[in-house]
């Protein structure tokens, strides 16, 4: 079933439950506001903690705020450019596999992402993101009225509510620092998790064999499934290209020795329409070195591969001494913090990137014109996002 249909069903069920609960228990009296497409819960709990954190490391938070604002402004432009590029590729090349035809993908635990790891990952996004906003608010001497949780259609969120009048009168620099703090915290936390992942896993050489074909040379030699092919004769097999190169120079009837991590298996190559044939199915993926993964494009690619459910870091190409579920949880904490942090930097109000573009615009024009510019860019951004769903809806 199309992913968008599942998303629609999930939204209908969740909102039916919310509306029933609101009717039965008057959620407004319990501090929970329900409006079309939006649920918010406000509380003053945690405000004292934000104050203590802000006072505990003033010098650190000053640097954090300045870097968060500056890097946030740069990444806002990068993310908008990537969104435009993604849309162009969607209509010219097509959607990546695993997206259901859409150019963007919802992160819904149990539907589009794993249930347990997804819930844990989203929880860390909220725990990291909003307190960072609050701490920078307090560090800059601005009031924090409340904290809370929110649900926008199917997108969970949290918030730290500032005094709007005071915030609007604050300097452009201070407002950009507050806006950039949340996404910057998510990105830093994601990178920390990624470093932990790389410390826990080790690249594996060879090809992971999933099965052997019936009556094939590999099956008759007793080559078991779930083994790892690391060599043929004197040729080391580190990945699919090594196997492909060897087979191009081989011929049917040739005697070779397959070497796995467990044993060696002499076979005679079979023939498949005149081409040499071993008779194995394998995962045609190579492990990637830590140095390559640590590059910006490597970090981003690992996160995108998780969302598309074709992970670069998987148990067939990497080994670990800890339970693989722990690595999976860390991968989803990393993925969701990085991608949600970057998504929040899109120039779209009320996202943080929308406030950043408004602040930057105010540096070159009046506050009223800056607001118009930000609203205009927000309209363009939301239109581009909607365009990313068109191929899936039309298909």
The three-class DSSP label of residue 97 is: coil
Whether residue 139 contacts residue 58, with contact meaning beta carbons closer than 8 Å, is answered with: yes
What are the φ/ψ torsions at residue 346 (nearest 5 degrees)?
Answer: -60, 145
Decide which of 2.30.42.10, 3.40.50.300, 3.40.50.720, 3.40.50.11030 is the CATH code for 207-283.
2.30.42.10
Of the candidates 237, 187, 149, the one whose C-alpha atom is nearest the C-alpha of residue 71 is: 187
Look at the alpha carbons of 112, 115, 117, 121 in this order and tell me if their dihedral is positive or negative: positive
Domain assignments of the chain as residue spans, ordered by start: 3-199+330-394, 207-283
Which stretches of 16-71 are assigned E, i.e. beta strand?
32-35, 38-43
This prediction's pTM: 0.81
Walk along the chain (395 residues) and give the pLDDT tens digit of each residue: 456 677 778 778 888 888 888 888 888 877 788 888 788 887 777 788 888 888 888 899 999 999 999 999 999 999 999 999 988 888 887 766 555 555 566 777 777 888 889 889 988 998 899 889 999 999 998 888 888 777 777 677 777 888 888 888 889 999 999 999 999 999 999 999 999 999 999 988 888 888 888 889 999 999 988 888 889 988 898 888 888 899 999 999 999 999 998 899 999 999 888 889 899 888 867 778 888 999 999 999 999 999 888 899 998 889 899 999 999 999 999 999 999 999 999 999 888 999 999 999 999 999 899 999 999 999 999 999 888 877 655 55
Strand 270-272 vs strand 275-277: parallel, antiparallel, or unpaired? antiparallel
The counts of H helices and E strands in the chain are 14, 14
Three-class SS state of 162: strand
In whole angstroms, give the CA distance from residue 285 to residue 318. 11
Joined together, the tokens standing for residue 210 give 């999933």
Beta bridge partners of 37: none
The conformation of residue 263, written as its DSSP 8-state character, comes to: -
Contact 151, 38 (CB under 8 A): yes
- The answer to whether 367 touches 155, Cβ cutoff 8 Å, is no
- Report which DSSP code applies to 27: G
Angle between helices 352-362 and 58-92 (to 10 degrees): 100
Alpha-carbon distance of 348 to 370, in angstroms, equals 13
Provide the 8-state DSSP code for 286.
-
């Amino acid at each position: 079933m199309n992913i968008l249909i599942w998303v629609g069903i999930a939204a209908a069920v969740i909102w039916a439950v919310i509306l029933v609960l609101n009717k039965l228990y008057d959620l407004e009296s319990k501090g929970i506001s329900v409006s079309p497409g939006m649920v918010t819960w406000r509380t003053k709990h945690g405000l004292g903690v934000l104050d203590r954190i802000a006072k505990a490391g003033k010098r650190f938070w000053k640097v954090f705020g300045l870097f968060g604002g500056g890097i946030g402004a740069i990444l806002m432009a990068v993310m908008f450019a990537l969104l435009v590029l993604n849309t162009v590729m969607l209509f010219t090349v097509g959607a990546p596999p695993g997206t259901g035809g859409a150019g963007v993908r919802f992160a819904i635990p149990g539907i589009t992402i794993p249930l347990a790891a997804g819930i844990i990952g989203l929880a860390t996004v909220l725990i990291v993101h909003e307190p960072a906003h609050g701490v920078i608010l307090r560090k800059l001497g601005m009031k924090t009225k409340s904290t809370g949780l929110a649900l926008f259609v199917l997108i969970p969120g949290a918030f730290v509510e500032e005094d709007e009048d005071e915030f609007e009168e604050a300097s452009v620099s201070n407002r950009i620092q507050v806006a950039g703090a949340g996404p910057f915290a998510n990105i830093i936390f994601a990178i920390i998790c990624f470093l932990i992942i790389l410390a826990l896993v080790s690249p594996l050489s060879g090809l992971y064999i999933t099965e052997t074909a019936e009556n094939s040379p590999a099956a008759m030699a007793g080559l078991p499934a779930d083994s790892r092919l690391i060599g043929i004769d004197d040729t080391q097999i580190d990945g699919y290209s090594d196997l492909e190169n060897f087979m191009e120079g081989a011929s049917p009837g040739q005697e070779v020795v397959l070497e796995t991590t467990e044993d060696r298996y002499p076979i005679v190559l079979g023939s498949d329409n005149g081409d040499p044939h071993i008779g194995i199915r394998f995962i045609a993926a190579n492990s990637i070195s830590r140095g390559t993964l640590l590059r910006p494009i490597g970090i981003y690619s690992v996160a995108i591969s998780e969302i598309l459910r074709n992970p670069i870091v998987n148990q067939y190409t990497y080994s670990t001494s800890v339970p693989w579920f722990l690595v999976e949880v860390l991968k989803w904490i990393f993925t969701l913090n990085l991608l949600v942090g970057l998504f929040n930097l899109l120039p779209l109000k009320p996202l943080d990137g929308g406030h950043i573009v408004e602040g930057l615009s105010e540096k070159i024009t009046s506050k009223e014109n800056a607001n118009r510019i930000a609203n205009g860019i927000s309209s363009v951004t939301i239109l581009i996002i909607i365009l990313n769903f068109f191929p899936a809806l039309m298909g």
